[in-house]
Amino acid sequence: MDLPNTLSDSLQAPSIVPSDWIKLPSSFYLKSDVVSLTREFLGKIIVTTFDGHITAARIVEAEAYDGVTDRACHAYNGRRTARTQVMYCEGGTAYVYLCYGMHTLFNVVTNERDIPQAVLIRAAEPLLGIERMLIRTGKISVDDRTLTKGPANVCKALGIRSITGSRPLELRYLPGNPYESAVTADKKDLRDVVSGKLHLIVKVRRKKSGLNKKCEVQCLGTVSTILTLRNMCDFHYLPVRKIQNDNIYEDLVPRLIPSNFTSALSCIIGEPVYVRQDGAGPGKNIRIERKAFTVNCHGHDDFPVAPTEEAVRETELRVRNQGAHKMLDEIFNERPMWTRVAINSKSKLEDHVLKVLLAKFAFYIVSGPWGRLWCKFGYDPRKDPAARQYQTIMVTLRQHQNIPERQRLKVSAAEKTSSSSLKDQLIEYDYRPGVLPPIRQMWYCVCDVHLPVAQKVIREDFFNVLKKADPTYGWISSDIITAIRVAIKEDITKISSMLEVDEGWAYDADQAIGPSDTVPFPNDEDMDEKVSDSQFMSDPDWEQ
């Protein structure tokens, strides 16, 4: 994709491009539906030329911003600033701005004038000028996937920079040398006229022929800012220079090292405590490669039917105990979907062993009605109405003095003692009435919630099932999911209020007795008698 004439000259497509690349017409950017237009951007090619270097990349990812109704758009609610004014221009204009003061992002304005819609270029495939892209981004190889991945890397690789009124003017004597330090200009604001001197932009036309040589003067406007280059410039003794007709730089500094060294490295070798003497050579790995064979799927993806052969082979190699394989197979035969906490509780295997075994028996669902679950290979809950019992419900408690946070349950290796066991670290995966959850955020399956409102969902005579699995709520409606979550929180509130009453009674008893007093605890008969007396004394009928 080449940009139209409304962009700056530095973004115009060069004349040396492949013959099958055709410049897009201006009408391409004037379409009203920015979402469908964003899809058409995919596959188009951006061509830039800076400092005589041509670079081109094919767009593979873009993002649409739908004007005044889009909260993520800079022009949301009709906002106009000095930076966003360009979004109200005609479609095809480049909107380049600085994000976080360090990343340049490139957008293309779309639609008619005064309709602020734009498309952000997020990723591209490099096509031309790859060597120049590597120099601009500081990458080593084109195999680096981050070369043009992300909106900031795209702009850096293509040489697109944001030039605004707040950016100082730079002067470089050797623009092609990346080690040169630029000279910046002093900026003076002339909008407030105090000295009585006014700076104007004047256009003068003179007739060079004829007897009557008249001069026409036309005032075009006033000068608001003056940039002057008065700073001192140092002599640049630069360490490298560019070889002619090549992108390789060679050293200028004499090499004060033996000639068999291929680069100007330091010959000073530090102490063995600080410097590794036996460096990694060809064919020698520094550490073992970490392989991950777990399959992650979103709720709308196609679910895998079987694990990969490499995952099965690696699992058999790393976990030799066939009892662990048999145990996990029985767990997924008992039920096709489990949470990770439930698998830990059922198998009681070590975490590092379970992490390897799961890649053989199940895949992980990231999002959707069954998000955060491990699903057995070959089972698709979207085709089975009975899978409503496995749908996940998240329960979150912001603050609770009797329920710890997640990080408090994690025991580091330094804090573990010989008496600690795996059983002490396991978390209950189901919710039972009258028992507080182990942590403040839990993911429950519907069948693991032992409350009447949840148990009726898994019954065979439950007919409030959707005809088709919804991508967000699955087989049951959102009202039922909300009702189960509310029932859990109401039960937790009831348990908490009972615990507060018990703690309050114990606190009052301690205050009455005192820390130094020793009073024997009364027996059951005395306790019953005291409770009945207190209730009798508080009866209003007795007072009358």
Between the alpha carbon of residue 259 and those of residues 241, 255, 270, 414, the distances in Å are 20, 8, 22, 51
Q: Which residue has the higher pLDDT, 470 or 166?
A: 470
Radius of gyration, CA atoms only, the chain: 36
Q: What single-letter amino acid sits at 83?
A: R
The Cα 303–Cα 310 span in angstroms is 18
Strands 103-110 and 296-297: unpaired
- Which pLDDT score is estimated for 531? 35
pLDDT in tens, 27-49: 899 998 999 999 999 999 999 88
CA nearest to 33, candidates 120, 124, 119: 119
The Cα 137–Cα 380 span in angstroms is 44
- The two tokens of residue 406 are 């997640």
Q: How confident is the model at residue 124 (pLDDT cuts 50, 70, 90)?
A: very high
Q: How confident is the model at residue 278 (pLDDT cuts 50, 70, 90)?
A: low
pLDDT in tens, 490-506: 888 888 888 776 555 44
Bridge partners (DSSP) of residue 192 are none
pLDDT at 319 over 90: no
- The two tokens of residue 253 are 């500094």
Give the least confident one: 7-11, 332-336, 387-391: 7-11
Give the least confident one: 67-76, 133-142, 363-372: 133-142
Residue recorded with tokens 């767009």: 59
Number of alpha carbons in the 13 Å side-chain half-sphere of residue 408: 9
pLDDT in tens, 280-317: 555 555 566 677 788 999 988 999 999 999 999 989 98
Torsion-angle region of residue 129: left (phi > 0), alpha (psi -120 to 50) or beta? left
pLDDT in tens, 151-181: 999 998 888 876 555 556 777 776 666 666 7
- The two tokens of residue 369 are 């009605």
pLDDT at 141 over 70: yes
Is 202 within 8 Å of 219 (Cβ atoms)? yes
The dihedrals phi and psi of 505, each to the nearest 5 degrees, come to -65, -40
| H or E, element range at 155 | helix 151-158
The domains of the chain, with CATH numbers, are 9-164 (3.10.300.10), 296-411+420-485 (no CATH)
**Which residues have a Cβ under 8 Å from the Cβ of 418 and sit 6 or more positions away?**
none
- Which pLDDT score is estimated for 333? 92
- Which pLDDT score is estimated for 99? 85
* Polymer length of the chain: 544
Dump the DSSP string for 244-270. Answer: TTSS-EEE-S---S-TT-SS-------
Q: How confident is the model at residue 26 (pLDDT cuts 50, 70, 90)?
A: confident
Most confidently modeled range among 40-44, 271-275, 539-543: 40-44
Is 7 within 8 Å of 24 (Cβ atoms)? no
Across 50-68, average pLDDT? 89
Q: Which residue has the higher pLDDT, 409 or 502?
A: 502
